[in-house]
Amino acid sequence: MTMSLFSLSKKMKKLKIQKKQAEHNEQPSKAIHSSIQDQINYIKEKTGNSIDVVIRKLQLGDGKSAAVVFVEGIADSKAINDFLIESIMKHRPNHNSRPIFEILFEEVVALGDVKEITDWDNLYLSLMSGESIILVDGAKKALSASTRGGEQRSIQEPGSQVTVRGPRDGFTESIRTNTALIRRRIQNPNLWLENMKIGSVTKTDVSIMYIKGIAKDEIVEEVRNRLQRIEIDSILESGYIEQLIEDQAFTTFPTLYHTERPDMVAGNLLEGRVAIIVNGTPFVLIAPAVFIQFFQSVEDYYGRADIATALRFLRILIFFISIIAPAAYIAATTFHQEMIPTQLLVAIAAQREAVPFPALFEALIMEVAFEILREAGVRMPRAVGSAISIVGALVIGQAAVQAGIVSPAMVIIVAITAIANFATPAFAVAISARLIRFGFMFAAATFGFYGIILGVIILAVHLCSLRSFGVPYLTPMAPLILANLGDTIVRLPMWAQKKRPKLFTSDNEQRVGDNQKPQPPEGRGMVNSVIEKGDRDEQ
């Protein structure tokens, strides 16, 4: 009974949202005036007579006039001058020709993407997107020509996901540049792209990209519905989208993956995932995301499988060190001294003899100080940020030891924890570990190692409860899918990964053909015989 009421409530909420969207779409838009002077005046009034809105009036002859309107800086001025203004000025209409608007649309405008606009809403949307608007006197419609351009950041190597081996190009703030970088890697017509505008004020371009036939239709539809339900005034970065469409809001773990590497996005699309590309940011969202994905690097697939497996084991170990190393030290020195070797225990006791604080307070002092230094290093200019964080850590650590506030052993533990946190491949999981670490420290100070074990159990239960667009967060380990374990902590060779992940892939699961295992000659006899034959021929 409770489940039926919950299902009914969910359906009613969905119908209400759909009705609201339909009412919004059905709102009538104001039609364009027929007088070109009225059109220009209305544009100036609407844009506040902004100086970057350029209006170039043109005389077509025979008493006809036109105007080209564009926003300086986000439109390509060279394309406007060469293919719009020059083409229009060269044209001279005759008395017996068709309407001038049709001639401009079909013959004069020398650009690829030209469309008609009949209302002001679409006109302003096109104008503020970098397109050029062509107004013709006497026509109650306008032409929109694709002239998006302006100054943009060039393609550079990603700064957040640096690899030794692999491509060096990264996403930029231009959505069309980003989609082109992906299409260069997946040259397939089944790579589909859907665009929408999100943000009642910003009108930000947001695109979803997926491979039809590989991505599961239910996941694609869920991504589309969640994006369409967003009602917000602005979208300035993909982080806005991430917070509005994620499955679980009250968790420190990310349920969407973000990257600025085109090769990583291409690899995830080929596994059946969906990419969400937002204009104005180089970070692309990938859904669904699973926990083990955040410990994998794109470089793992460019090298040998045994090396990649060893590195993944190391990253998992690094993650656990970053969350429980201070807690283990607190538990061992506070409750479980018998677990420490005698000589090490005597050395630690001698170091802590002059320290007036318990181990928990000692760890909190060093952790908070290091977090402050790390945040200061990030916010300072790049030239001095790293120097401040390194020098500050050395000076503060040495001064704290000499002042008797903390022990040298605690400085070592905090330093190892910080290095392990830096070595985590995904920044989003590294931040989660930084927060969870404090919870484990309090649990260890209260219950010792029992508190740490209890914290690990709670953490595992929490991870098992998470979903990413309906996909369990710990898949393929929980639930266990044996066929997909070859690309988790252990990475099998390419020829052994024959199937795509099942939970977010359609029926097209096969990605590697049969008999792809390398089979070189069993011995060197054939090579040796050829060499010996060549030597005999020379003699």
Q: Read off the pLDDT of residues 435-445 as tens digits, 9 standing for 90 and up.
A: 999 999 999 99
Query: Can you give the three-state secondary structure of 302-337, one letter per residue?
Result: CCCHHHHHHHHHHHHHHHHHHHHHHHHHHHHHHCCH
Q: Among residues 472, 505, 525, which one ends one of the domains?
A: 472
Rounded to a whole number of angstroms, the CA Rg of the chain reads: 31
Alpha-helical segments (H) within 403-448: 408-422, 427-447
**Is residue 347 assigned to a domain?**
yes
Structure tokens at 470: 């309906």
Q: State residue 466's pLDDT score.
A: 94
State how far the Cα of 238 lies from the Cα of 206, in Å rounded to an integer.
9
Is pLDDT of 24 > 50?
Answer: no
- In a domain, residue 351? The reply is yes
**DSSP class of 380:** S
pLDDT recorded at residue 161: 83
**pLDDT for 368 beyond 60:** yes
* Per-residue pLDDT band at 97 (split at 50, 70, 90): low
Nearest to 234 by CA among 243, 225, 226: 243
**Considering the domain boundaries, does residue 503 fall inside one?**
no
Contact 167, 279 (CB under 8 A): no
- Do 202 and 117 share a structural domain? no
In a domain, 530, yes or no: no
End-of-domain residue from the set 261, 289, 317: 289
Are residues 242 and 215 part of one domain?
Answer: yes
Q: Is 474 helix (H, G, I), strand (E, B) or coil?
A: strand
Give the range among 146-150, 202-206, 454-458, 473-477 with minimum mean pLDDT. Answer: 146-150
Statement to judge: residues 354 and 419 lie in one domain: yes
Mean pLDDT of 423-432: 88
Containing structural domain, residue 48:
36-145
Mean residue pLDDT of the chain comes to 84
**Encoded amino acid at 516, one letter:** Q
CA distance 390 to 379: 14
Is residue 19 assigned to a domain?
no
284 lies in the same domain as 333 = no
Choice between 459 and 63, residue whose per-residue pLDDT is larger: 459
Structure confidence at residue 538 (pLDDT): 60
Distance CA 124, CA 126 (A): 5
Are residues 310 and 339 located together in one domain of the fold?
A: yes
Residue 31 lies in a domain: no
Provide the terminal-to-terminal Cα distance of the chain, rounded to the nearest Å. Answer: 95
Which band of pLDDT confidence, cut at 50, 70 and 90, is reported for residue 107?
confident
- Write the Ramachandran bin of 73: left for phi over 0, alpha for psi from -120 to 50, otherwise beta: left
Whether 408 and 321 map to the same domain: the answer is yes
Name which residue leads in pLDDT, 539 or 112.
112
| Boundary (domain end) residue, out of 92, 125, 145 | 145
Instruction: Please enumerate in sequence order all residues whose Cβ is within 8 A of that of 239, keeping only pairs 6 or more positions apart, or say none.
Output: 258, 283
C-alpha count within 13 angstroms, C-beta hemisphere, residue 232: 17
Write down the pLDDT at residue 3: 43
Decide: residue 498, CB within 10 A, 0-12 exposed, 13-18 middle, 19+ buried: middle
Can you give the pTM of this predicted structure? 0.85
- pLDDT over 60 (residue 11): no
Distance CA 156, CA 134 (A): 35
pLDDT given for residue 233 in this prediction: 93
What is the band of 103 on the pLDDT scale with cuts at 50, 70, 90? Answer: confident
487-510 tens-digit pLDDT = 889 999 988 888 888 888 877 888
Ranking 261-275, 442-456, 495-509 by mean pLDDT, the lowest is 495-509
Residue 342 within a domain? yes
Same domain, 279 and 344: no
pLDDT bin (cut points 50, 70, 90) of residue 370 is confident
Same-domain check for residues 394 and 255: no
Token digits of residue 406: 């903390």
Q: Are residues 403 and 454 in the same domain?
A: yes
Q: Which residue has the higher pLDDT, 310 or 100?
A: 310
Judge residue 308's burial from the number of C-beta atoms within 10 Å of its C-beta, 0-12 exposed, 13-18 middle, 19 or more buried: buried
Burial 140-152 (b: 16+ CB within 10 A, else e): ebbbbbbbbbeee
507 within a domain of the structure (yes/no): no
With beta carbons less than 8 A apart as the criterion, state whether 476 and 485 touch. yes
Dist. CA 391–CA 376, nearest whole Å: 12
* Residues making up the chain, counted from first to last: 539
Q: What percent of the chain has pLDDT over 70?
A: 87
* pLDDT of 12 strictly over 60: no
Mind giving me the DSSP string for 172-213? -S-HHHHHHHHHTT---TTEEEEEEEE-TTT-EEEEEEEEBT
Do 311 and 285 share a domain, yes or no? no
- pLDDT tens for 328-343 read 999 999 998 888 898 9
**% pLDDT > 90, the chain:** 37
Looking at residue 149, what is its pLDDT?
81
Do 225 and 262 have their domain in common?
yes
Is the predicted pLDDT of residue 403 greater than 50, yes or no?
yes
Looking up tokens 């069309």, which residue turns up?
Answer: 176
Report the pLDDT value the prediction gives residue 6, as an integer from 0 to 100.
43
pLDDT value at position 206? 95
- What is the C-alpha to C-alpha distance for residues 434 and 56, in angstroms, rounded to an integer? 56
Residue 312 sits in the same domain as residue 458: yes
Phi first, then psi: give them for residue 513, nearest 5 degrees: -75, 175
The confidence score (pLDDT) of residue 5 equals 45
**Number of structural domains the chain divides into:** 3
Q: What is the pLDDT of residue 15?
A: 53
Tell me which residue of 28, 198, 44 sits closest to 119, measured CA to CA: 28
Q: In what order do the strands lie in the sheet with 204-211?
A: 191-198, 204-211, 274-278, 284-287, 257-259
